[in-house]
């Protein structure tokens, strides 16, 4: 087969010692920036761009690919151990992962995240190798109305992270939606809810919200309760590795997460977050242990972690086959290609097969390196929790400062950090869930933009929303997801006294 022989040629490039070295650097660097909130792969690659002047293209892209994948491995670590996601794709991981860590099963959570990332990354890379051209065509099939339907479907996933009361869940969701409306409206250029400040014109940065609600809110909460209660976490209790049962409960979520993540990642407006929402919702519905969700269900870590890694492979599909950047990271990679005077796309496969197949081969190797790098690290990461608690949280606050101050050096962002940190604290005290805030912040603006784009193109005809088979199908699934489970729950729980919908 032609693809196979080219792939073997690619391995010959990627396995050169020099390139292996760059892959290793990229993976290590990626893991490190994944851990830091606010410093993502896009920024890191942008900052390393000058390296393109000195290094051969194959080596540079092999390193960049390592950063892209590594950031996703690293992003889950702080989610699980410290309840402070390093990347937006790791928000859902924090939900179950941190509960597991608190129950002394942090190592198992980290392991399922790492192995899931490896499995999904490899599946995604395989799909990239063999299916890329056909998957890439999806980009042209999906129109604004289809994206809107996808957003609606993602919104239905919010229901499962609502916490123990609908009112609180909805309050959190609407708070996120409200934050998402701040800034310039892209379709008309009007400013909305900026209260006369220039700093808010571009909206509230996702990083600031993520860091403040999770890291700062958590630090304030734990501090206020630390005097009276000794550290509850014993990271090494309860076995340090995945049990037989953990494996049995993890492998299906890994596969399902990969299947959800890859195609959505390949869409120009897909990204890595939406697959994690969908995967989490799906695992919660399918799980044989629904009661454990909210208390550390391993499926809730395995699924989303697989989904975001598969999505990362998906992101490369439109970039390499069409030259179409779909995320910030892809846009920076495109700029890197252009620095070498190269334009990604079908022509590049013909003119520079060594470079492209070397890059693809390096993805397999990078995944392996990351697994080898991360599995032994699990033990070390878990021991991180043995550091005195005051140093851990002091360090978290300093790194939160880096994340918030580093990008924009904006005083307004620091003010937002304090305000949102306080809100995060109140949310913890009164048991409001945080994930819906972030879901609202991510999905709200996107759903609004896609809806208004669809309506602009149709000149205000609402029928456009169900005008394509994809949109109709996605909306139907959303409807089924919303309507069926409550009915099923009612039927199932008839002998019991409590309705099964309240979710711990």
Partner 1 sequence: MLRRLMTTGALALVLSTGMAIAEPAKVMIPANPGGGWDGAGRHTMAAFAQSKIFTDGASFTNKGGAAGTIGLAEFVRTSKGDDNALLVTGVIMVGGVITNQTPVSLKDTTPLLRLTNEYNAIAVPANSPIKTPQDFIAAMKADPGALSVGGGSAGGADHVMLALLAKHAGAPVAKINFVSFSGGEILAALGGGKIKAAISGASEFRQFAETGRIRIIAVSGPTRVDGLNAPTLKESGIPVEIGNWRGFVGAPGMSEAAKKTWLERFAKLHQTPVWKETLKTQGWEDAYLPGDQFAAFLKAEDASWSSALKEVGILK
Partner 2 sequence: MSVNPSRQDAHRKPRPWWLGLGVLAMGALWLNGARSIASTTNYIGVGPAAIILAVGMGLAVLGVILITQAMRGELVASPEGEEEAPPSRSAFLLALAGVSIPLLTIRWLGFPLTAMLAFTLVTHAFGSRRTGLDLMVGAVLGSVAWLGFSRLGISLGPFLPLIG
Residue 199 contact partner, candidates partner 1, partner 2, none, CB within 5 to 8 A by sort of partner: partner 1
Binding of partner 2 by 336 (CB under 8 A): no
Query: Taking the CB of residue 165, how many other CB atoms lie within 10 A of it?
Result: 14
Quote the least distance from Cβ 504 to partner 2, whole Å: 8
Joined tokens for residue 235: 């990271």
Residue 354 contact partner, candidates partner 2, partner 1, none, CB within 5 to 8 A by sort of partner: none
Binding part of the chain for partner 2, among 161-169, 312-320, 332-340, 477-485 by CB under 8 A, reads 161-169
Residue 339 contact partner, candidates partner 2, partner 1, none, CB within 5 to 8 A by sort of partner: partner 1
Q: What are phi and psi of 184, to 5 degrees?
A: -80, 130
Residue with tokens 């699924």: 303
Say if residues 306 and 279 touch (Cβ distance below 8 Å). Answer: yes
How many angstroms separate the CA atoms of 39 and 42, rounded?
8
Between 54 and 497, name the residue whose CB sits nearer to partner 1.
54
Between 50 and 227, name the residue whose CB sits nearer to partner 1.
50
Residue 347 contact partner, candidates partner 1, partner 2, none, CB within 5 to 8 A by sort of partner: partner 1
Joined tokens for residue 328: 């910030």
Between 121 and 344, name the residue whose CB sits nearer to partner 1.
344
Between 298 and 396, name the residue whose CB sits nearer to partner 2.
396
Among the listed residues 414, 466, 473, 477, the single contact to partner 2 using CB under 8 A: 414
Q: Over 316-369, what HEC string results?
A: HHHHHHHCCCCCHHHHHHHHHHHHCCCCCCHHHHHHCHHHHHHHHHHHHHHHHH
Between 133 and 419, name the residue whose CB sits nearer to partner 2.
419
Among the listed residues 143, 323, 379, 395, the single contact to partner 2 using CB under 8 A: 395
Between 33 and 161, name the residue whose CB sits nearer to partner 1.
33
Say if residues 365 and 125 touch (Cβ distance below 8 Å). Answer: no
Binding of partner 2 by 406 (CB under 8 A): yes
Binding of partner 2 by 339 (CB under 8 A): no
Q: Which residues in this chain contact partner 1 in the complex, by CB under 8 A?
A: 42-43, 46-47, 49-50, 53, 139-144, 184-191, 198-199, 201-202, 268-269, 318, 322-328, 330-332, 335, 338-341, 343, 345-347, 407-410, 449, 453, 456-457, 459
Between 64 and 364, name the residue whose CB sits nearer to partner 2.
64
Binders of partner 2 among residues 41 to 60 (CB under 8 A) are 43-44, 47-48
Contacts of 232 (CB under 8 A, 6+ apart): 102
Query: Taking the CB of residue 276, how many other CB atoms lie within 10 A of it?
Result: 30
Binding of partner 2 by 394 (CB under 8 A): yes
Binding of partner 2 by 345 (CB under 8 A): no
- Would you put residue 324 in left (φ > 0), alpha (ψ -120 to 50) or beta? beta
Q: Over 397-432, what HEC string results?
A: HHHHHHHHHHHHCCHHHHHHHHHHHHHHHHHHHCCC
How many angstroms separate the CA atoms of 318 and 330, rounded?
9
Quote the least distance from Cβ 137 to partner 2, whole Å: 28
Binders of partner 2 among residues 185 to 224 (CB under 8 A) are 185, 187-188, 190, 192-193, 216, 219-220, 222-224
Among the listed residues 452, 467, 468, 477, the single contact to partner 2 using CB under 8 A: 452
Q: In what helix (H) or strand (E) does residue 313 lie, and over which residues does it extend?
A: helix 299-322
How many angstroms separate the CA atoms of 501 and 176, rounded?
23
Between 57 and 433, name the residue whose CB sits nearer to partner 2.
433
């Amino acid at each position: 087969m032609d693809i196979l022989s080219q792939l073997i040629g690619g391995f010959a490039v990627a396995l050169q010692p020099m390139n292996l070295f760059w892959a290793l650097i990229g993976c290590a660097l990626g893991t490190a920036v994944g851990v830091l909130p606010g410093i993502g792969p896009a920024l890191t690659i942008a900052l390393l761009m000058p390296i393109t002047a000195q290094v051969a293209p194959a080596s540079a892209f092999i390193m960049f690919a390592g950063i892209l994948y590594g950031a996703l491995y690293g992003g889950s670590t702080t989610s699980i151990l410290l309840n402070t996601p390093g990347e937006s794709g790791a928000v859902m991981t924090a939900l179950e992962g941190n509960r597991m860590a608190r129950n002394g099963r942090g190592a198992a959570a980290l392991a399922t995240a790492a192995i899931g990332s490896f499995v999904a990354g490899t599946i995604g890379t395989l799909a990239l190798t063999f299916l890329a051209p056909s998957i890439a065509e999806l980009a042209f099939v999906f129109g604004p109305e289809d994206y809107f339907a996808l957003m609606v479907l993602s919104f239905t996933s919010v229901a499962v992270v609502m916490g123990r009361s609908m009112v609180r869940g909805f309050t959190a969701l609407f708070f996120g939606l409200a934050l998402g409306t701040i800034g310039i409206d892209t379709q008309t250029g009007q400013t909305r809810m900026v209260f006369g400040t220039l700093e808010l014109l571009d909206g509230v940065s996702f990083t600031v919200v993520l860091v403040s609600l999770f890291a700062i809110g958590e630090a304030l909460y734990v501090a206020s309760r630390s005097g009276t209660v000794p550290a509850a976490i014993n990271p090494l209790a309860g076995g340090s590795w995945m049990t037989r049962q953990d494996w049995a409960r993890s492998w299906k979520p890994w596969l399902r997460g990969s299947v959800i993540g890859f195609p959505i990642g390949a869409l120009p407006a897909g990204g890595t977050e939406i697959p994690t929402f969908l995967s989490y919702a799906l695992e919660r519905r399918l799980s044989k242990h629904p009661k454990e969700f909210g208390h550390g269900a391993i499926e809730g870590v395995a699924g989303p972690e697989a989904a975001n890694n598969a999505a990362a492979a998906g992101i490369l599909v439109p970039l390499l086959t069409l030259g179409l950047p779909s995320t910030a990271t892809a846009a920076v990679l495109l700029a890197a290609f252009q620095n070498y005077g190269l334009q990604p796309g079908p022509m590049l496969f013909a003119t520079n097969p060594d470079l492209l197949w070397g890059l693809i081969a390096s993805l397999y190797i990078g995944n392996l390196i990351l697994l080898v790098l991360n599995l032994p690290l699990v033990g070390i990461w878990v021991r991180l929790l043995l550091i005195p608690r005051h140093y851990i949280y002091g360090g978290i606050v300093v790194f939160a400062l880096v994340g918030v101050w580093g990008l924009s050096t904006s005083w307004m962002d620091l003010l937002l950090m304090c305000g949102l940190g306080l809100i995060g604290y109140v949310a913890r005290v009164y048991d409001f869930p945080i994930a819906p805030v972030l879901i609202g912040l991510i999905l709200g603006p996107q759903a609004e933009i896609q809806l208004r784009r669809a309506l602009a193109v149709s000149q205000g005809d609402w029928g456009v929303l169900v005008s394509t088979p994809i949109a109709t199908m996605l909306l139907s699934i959303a409807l089924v997801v919303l309507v069926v489970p409550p009915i099923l729950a009612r039927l199932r729980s008839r002998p019991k006294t409590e309705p099964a919908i309240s979710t711990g």
